Amino acid sequence: MSVDATPYTKTFEDELDWKLFDQLHGVVSQISSFCFETKKFCVTTEFVVLTLMVKFTADKLDHSLFVAGLVIPLSFWFLDAVGYYYQVKLRGMMESIRVRLGDRNSRQIVGIAGAPIISRERIQRPLLRRAFDAAVNHSMWLYGFLIGTDLFVWALFAAGSIR
């Protein structure tokens, strides 16, 4: 079994692709951090706003409290979903760079044909499906929990079970 021991030397195109890949990786990492911070800020905002609203309504429950409890996580959910959508889009760009590098240097770069960065299926779905996937995934459970809790307590309030 003969292995081509030619060392990998970057071409100009390779160098550009590696730089772009590194930049995209940095952006994906920043967006990921942003999405995590968005969740923390949502919970903080929810409790601060609802506490202030209770104080402004003289400690009496009001429908506006439940509307705010619904609007806040919906707004942050939208913001987080946009970030998630662009993470997937950028990972798709990273995957195409990985494939280009592999195609140009299949004999010199060992392991470049390994596992993809993101499945091609996820980046080639129709736009509406990709938007839905961005909004409804495991990282968005927090928003569903906040909205579900708000709707449940609001229903109890509307039914007169709580005052």
Helix count (H) and strand count (E) of the chain?
Answer: 5, 0
- Distance from C-alpha of 43 to C-alpha of 51, rounded to nearest angstrom: 12
Domain membership of residue 97 (yes or no) is yes
Domain membership of residue 7 (yes or no) is no
CB 105 within 8 A of CB 8: yes
pLDDT at residue number 59 = 77
The three-state (H, E, C) secondary structure of 108-151, written as one string:
CCCCCCCCCCCCHHHHCCCHHHHHHHHHCCHHHHHHHHHHHHHH
Domain membership of residue 4 (yes or no) is no
pLDDT at residue number 111 = 54
Residue type, 18: W
Report the Cα 6 to chain-centroid distance in Å: 40
Exposure letters 32-45 (e unless 16+ CB within 10 A, then b): eeebeebbeebeee
Q: How many CA atoms lie within 13 A of 51 on its CB side?
A: 6
Domain membership of residue 163 (yes or no) is no
The whole-model pTM stands at 0.83
pLDDT at residue number 7 = 73
Domain membership of residue 2 (yes or no) is no
Domain of residue 21 covers: 12-155
- Distance from C-alpha of 33 to C-alpha of 13, rounded to nearest angstrom: 30
Domain membership of residue 49 (yes or no) is yes
Domain membership of residue 3 (yes or no) is no
From first to last of its 163 residues, the chain has per-residue pLDDT tens of 455 566 777 889 989 999 999 999 999 999 999 999 999 999 999 999 999 998 888 878 889 999 999 999 999 999 999 999 999 999 999 999 988 888 887 666 555 556 788 888 898 999 999 999 999 999 999 999 999 999 999 999 999 888 7
- Distance from C-alpha of 156 to C-alpha of 163, rounded to nearest angstrom: 9
pLDDT at residue number 116 = 82
Residue type, 26: G
Domain membership of residue 88 (yes or no) is yes
Task: Quote the number of domains for the chain.
Answer: 1
